[in-house]
Chain A
Amino acid sequence: MSAARSRELIGLVDTSGISVGFLVPVFAGGGGNAPVVQVLDSSGTVVGFEPYEVPEAPRLPSPSRNASVGAPGLHAFAFARDDVVLLSGNDENDQLAGRIEDPLLLNRPMLGMELADLLGRRDMREKFAAQVHSDMARTSVDAADRWRDLSVLTTDLRRELVADEAGQDRYFSTVVTRVHDGRILLLGLPEHVPGVMKDDLRRAVLAVVGRLARLYPSPRQGWRIVFDRPRSPAASRRPDAALLVATRDGDRGGLRGPWPPVPDVVVHHDARDLFSSDPEAFTRSLMNDGAPLFVVHDADDREAAPKAERDWSSPHVHGIGVGSPRACTLAGNDDLHQATTFIPVTGIRGASGSERNLVNAIRLAIAVEVEQRRRGHWPSSPRTLLRSRVARPAGSKYAWAALYDKAWAMGLAPWSALRIMPSTNASCHPDPVAEALLGGVGSLDGGLIDETLGTMPHTLGLLVDSSPRSQKDEVRHKRSVTRLLAQQQWGVTDQDFRRAEGDISIRGRLAEFEILTAPTAAGLGNPDRDRKDLFQLDIRQVRTIMVTCAASPTAVLEELADTGVLQVDVRDLVDFDAAHSNAVAILGSQLRRMVTGLPSRTRTQFIAFAAMQAFIADRVSGADASDLLAMLEGARRGKDFHLLLRSLKGSEGASTFEVRTFNTIGNRASEPHLGKVDRFRMSLAPEGVSIVLPAPAEPRNT
């Protein structure tokens, strides 16, 4: 801001380009500097000058005038290009006021409103406003009312709120008014406006409509003031459910609340603020609307839901237990009878994104239960809700297989379940993989399910009975795996289809295998173990596959090193077709799950194992092959040196990855002491794993 106290007017900028209305007075900057404009305070007094943002803007000529700090600001109003009135003092105001009924303004009443506003002529402003409204109403009453409410009433209410020193002006910048049928709607406000502020808003808006009586004739019954939030039409219906949050530790991925919990949440499935508190609406939804009550609690807390049932005398209480996969599985002697949906939570608690993920899971659990009740089903046994994302086009088969794996790994029976999917999926052709694994399992879609999954696209769910599976389920698991393999044209021989332990033999165009369906999930191995023996193993020589549904990188390597058996998940068999696949295809499927930028010791070991296959098969090309071999065999693999995968492409039986090296010590991906290779391309095809190292001249971006 310029420190000079007085500036000479050098022109008037016509911002609208039609030489009508208010112009911008521009002053000499002094010393050859860019022109300046006045800085006015809220009372219209000049408090300084600042450079004009558009110094090259064409100007209309102006009479010789000055503006001074501390004096009233100078304004310019054009009736025409050669008819400009300057005003800064009372005399000039009088001169302009004398022209308030100039024909130009009568033909342009919006402009007349603005000038009347500047001159403080409320009567004329309202007269012009009524004329604008009347003119617009000849075309559309609705459009005229919108202009009136949004341009006049909203502006005046905000001014009133700011001017009322005794009142609250917190909402002056957000409140929006609309008027219908004797009701004044106050929109744009947060969900909870404290009572004292509502009183201030009521008082202010009544004062304003009282002053704008021409625009707002008072209804016979008086004005009714309605506080409303902007919301989609669906949100105005009765609530779908009420929700209590009652976790004990007060920090479960974003859910907080002590016991006894405060009445908390009313759920509308199209509302996004699921965990906002609204005690009044909560009570109303239970007492008046008969909404079912859901209680979120720790998975191992058996008391939360019964307590809520007693406290609220609600006949429809449903628990939502959140916890580790182990806590979400009932033991054989667990006598939990209440209706509960368990939501297993894995990963790092409180990590970024975990809150939204959990909120989505709870939302889906509620939708599933409410939708079932609407259809006359009243589930009473505990169930576990599993979800999987469809990560690529036509990827639902992988998602169903992943859900099968999750359920089986938790000790559950995937077919004692309901499939949860949007109705668009349900109406499509049946998914062959889902049919093989979950054939006969019922599905739930439509209604609230569609609404809820619409907010979390590409998600499929499986609502599984939380009871531990039986010996019969082991046999059924074996049959499911057999069906999936037969579906992919493997010649399958099951020596004893009545027993889970009986071996399966499969024969394809490229390979033959013995298939084991392990009765128990594999344990985790030790990632620090020296795997020199493992790195001599040729994956193409593997003859036995064990379907564990829990084939972590460490577990797979451990089993290979110990027994030469390849552990797999069911999802590894989804693209395992007899015509194009051998064990290398499974390795490719497992590597696909490791496409991430996060370094991990176990993943690095697994990727290094896969890369070593190329050296075993003598399928490495490029000048730095010996450097890469030294890196892969080095003792620092998985410690301060990691391998990261970036998927490039995949086709029948083949996958190609870009592999990058990552050094956790230095900033560069490749440090001299680790070798020269910072990236390479690794392809997995039935013939084996192959590696192409970049030519030395190729730039190596990190």
Chain B
Amino acid sequence: MCLVIDPALLGDAIRILPFDSGGYGRYAAQIGPLLTRSDFELGSGQGTPMRLVRAFFETNGNYFRQRMTAGATTIPVSHGEARAYARLGGDTALADDDDRRSTIEVQIDRSVPLSSALRAVVGPPSLLSDPEVTATLATMPSVTQITYETFGRQQPSAYTALLYDHVRRYLVDQGAMT
């Protein structure tokens, strides 16, 4: 299941990082020893993630597909953090991490009520048709529900691409995949 959250929440961020900070230890090969995790903390402004996407991916579509367009060699050497991030996102080699190494992390220091923050939910019919879930979603008229079929799929990983595709449908409809 995937929840799509209102981007207005970005204004409440206390910390934004360009990657999954919990996996920082796995990025050493691309980042090198001179930088620390805190070097990558971005400003907390609402537009910060979009600026990062524009700088390194150019378009939302590229970011969604994790196709980084900025190359480390095009970034001045004095911007060591940016070069390291470009190396991290541009490394297509198989590694013991995944696309979380260039997926933006937003940290908020308060509880976020889904009743106001949820914009869309992508899930299997069994869960989205559950009476408890439908009753809850009935109180959120602006939330878009998107379902995908589950029969014939055996492995959990078989759902990953399915989730990405259905979230993309929502983002295309919202005009966010420019």
Contact = CB atoms under 8 A, between A and B. Distances in A.
A114 B175 contact: no
Contacts of B150: 15, 21-22, 114
B60 to A, nearest CB: 9
Interface in B103-158: 124-131, 134, 137-138, 141-152, 154-157
Contact of A701 (B33, B77, B78, B138): B33
A19 B150 CA distance: 14
Contacts of A132: 129
Size category of the binding interface on chain A: 35 or more
Interface stretch (B6-14, B21-29, B94-102, B164-172): B164-172
Given A147-B146, A232-B178, A21 B157 contact: no
B54 A140 contact: no
B74 A107 contact: no
B78 A647 contact: yes
Contacts of A232: 175, 178
> B33, B51, B144, B146: which has the most chain A beta carbons within 10 Å?
B144
Contacts of B157: 53
Interface string A3-26: 000000000000110101110110
A462 B76 CA distance: 23
B149 A117 contact: yes
A140 B78 CA distance: 53
B166 A150 contact: yes
B121 to A, nearest CB: 10
Contact of B127 (A18, A50, A176): A18
B78 A147 contact: no
Interface in A1-54: 15-16, 18, 20-22, 24-25, 37-40, 44, 50, 52-54
Nearest to A352: B74
Given A75-B151, A139-B141, A353-B74, A16 B172 contact: no
B145 to A, nearest CB: 5
A596 B78 contact: yes
Contacts of B138: 138-139
B34 interface: yes
A40 B152 CA distance: 7
**Among the interface residues B34, B124, B134, B147, which one has the most CB atoms of the partner chain A within 10 A?**
B147
Interface in A545-565: none
A402 to B, nearest CB: 15
B141 A52 contact: no
Give the interface SS of chain A, mostly helix, strand, loop or mixed. mixed
A231 B174 CA distance: 9
A111 B127 CA distance: 9
A173 to B, nearest CB: 7
Nearest to A51: B155
A183 to B, nearest CB: 14
A21 B173 contact: no
- The winner among B73, B126, B128 for most chain A CB atoms within 10 A is B126
Which of A109, A139, A150, A176 gathers the greatest number of chain B CB atoms within 10 Å? A150
Nearest to B58: A272
B71 interface: yes
Contacts of B169: 150, 154, 176, 188
Contacts of B172: 176, 187-188, 230
Nearest to A699: B33
A97 B62 CA distance: 44
B125 A110 contact: yes
Interface string A66-80: 000000010100000
Given A147-B146, A150-B146, A701-B33, A37 B173 contact: no
B155 A73 contact: no
Contacts of B173: 146, 149-150, 176, 178, 187
Contacts of B163: none
B175 A231 contact: yes
A106 to B, nearest CB: 11
Interface string A293-335: 0000000000000000000000000000000000000000000
Contacts of A155: 149
B66 interface: no
Contact of B144 (A40, A114, A143): A143
Given A146-B173, A272-B58, A114 B151 contact: yes
A233 B175 contact: yes
Nearest to B134: A135
A136 interface: yes
Given A150-B146, A150-B173, A231 B178 contact: yes
A15 B157 CA distance: 12
Contact of B155 (A53, A75, A647): A53
- Which of B137, B155, B172 gathers most chain A CB within 10 Å? B172
A451 B154 CA distance: 49
A118 interface: yes
A113 interface: yes
8 contacts: A53-B155, A110-B147, A111-B126, A135-B134, A150-B169, A151-B147, A596-B77, A596-B78
**What 3 A-B pairs are tightest by C-beta distance, nearest first?**
A597-B77, A21-B126, A353-B74
Interface of A: 15-16, 18, 20-22, 24-25, 37-40, 44, 50, 52-54, 73, 75, 107-111, 113-114, 117-118, 132, 135-136, 138-140, 142-143, 146-147, 149-151, 154-155, 173, 176, 178, 187-188, 230-233, 235, 272, 352-353, 455, 457, 595-598, 646-647, 701
